[in-house]
Amino acid sequence: MAKEHIVIVEDEEDILELLRYHLAREGYSVTTASNGAQALKIISQKMPALVLLDLMLPGLNGLELCRSLKQDPRTAAIPIMMVTAKNEESDVVLGLELGADDYIMKPFSMKVLVARVHAVLRRRKQSVVDTDAVIRIHDLVINPGRHEVLIKGKPVEMTFSELRILHLLARRPGWVMTREQIVDVVRGEDYAVTDRAVDVQIVGLRKKLGSRAEYIETVRGVGYRFKE
């Protein structure tokens, strides 16, 4: 079986080499980049199973690179783990809003980082949904197998996380899902995240649904549900 390919984007040479060494030792095929532009070129040539991305990069920074990857249909489904010294909640929330799948703060334990990498790749495999599991609500069509949402036959661009949340709620209309349950399904039960980050995802999802935003109801103090 071919090794899973990971791209590491980090401008600090010592950290880059440390990450490369430990992930290669775990059996992964690793390619490194020291800036965003170089990373884009590498990823376009060989699609990775995961991108480890520092936010503070020269030129094209990590958030800009994340946005670029998630807006491109060819790379939108690639999981991104942010590795950053920035510890403000706003930076983490923005990264998640752009479509990043996980984050870890510097300085970090290498054992913890490797475990998180394993978890992200495991969730990626588990998140492959039956391509026949299409949900239709009036003129709204959710096709997770094709990573596609249609309204009146027109595609609506969504991040991986937004589609997963929409599919989670829509397949159980009327059921209230807590923020913790949403995180468990979308990112895994070992994922530490604030209520604010979940709410940001819902806000973005509602904006993209437009007039169909009313399908997603807020249950104050609990979570969210899809309107029956």
Decide which of 126, 156, 183 is a domain's last residue.
Answer: 126
pTM above 0.75, yes or no: no
Tally of domains in the chain: 2
Long-range Cβ contacts of 173-176 (<8 Å, 24+ apart): 173/137, 173/225, 173/226, 173/227, 173/228, 174/225, 174/226, 174/227, 174/228, 175/225, 175/226, 176/219, 176/222, 176/223, 176/224, 176/225
- Read off the DSSP letter of residue 145: G
User: Which of 29, 4, 30 has its CA nearest to residue 16?
Assistant: 30
Q: So what's the pLDDT on residue 17?
A: 96
Q: The tokens of 147 are what?
A: 């990573």
Please indicate, yes or no, whether residues 61 and 120 belong to a single structural domain of this protein: yes
pLDDT, one tens digit per residue, over 57-78 is 999 999 999 999 988 878 887 8
Residues 95 and 144 in one domain: no
Cα 227 to the center of its chain, rounded Å: 25
The answer to whether residues 77 and 43 belong to one domain is: yes
156/207 same-domain check: yes
Q: Read off the pLDDT band of 188 (50, 70, 90).
A: low
Residue 159, exposed/middle/buried by CB under 10 A (0-12, 13-18, 19+)? buried
Domain extent, residue 81, equals 5-126
* pLDDT greater than 70 at residue 43: yes
- 21 with 92, same domain: the answer is yes
> Rounded mean pLDDT of 209-218?
93
Same domain, 68 and 178: no
Q: CATH number for the domain including 30? A: 3.40.50.2300
- CATH, residue 200: 1.10.10.10
Amino acid 152: pLDDT = 93
> Residue 54: beta bridge partners?
83
- Final residue before a domain boundary, out of 100, 126, 152: 126
Domain boundary among 126, 154, 182: 126
φ, ψ (nearest 5 deg) of residue 159: -75, 165
Mean pLDDT value of segment 16-42? 95
Question: Of the ranges 41-45, 60-64, 71-75, 124-128, which one carries the lowest mean pLDDT score?
Answer: 124-128
Mean pLDDT, range 50-56, rounded to an integer: 93
What is the Cα–Cα distance from 131 to 15, expressed in whole angstroms?
A: 40
Whole-angstrom Cα distance, residue 218 to residue 199?
Answer: 10
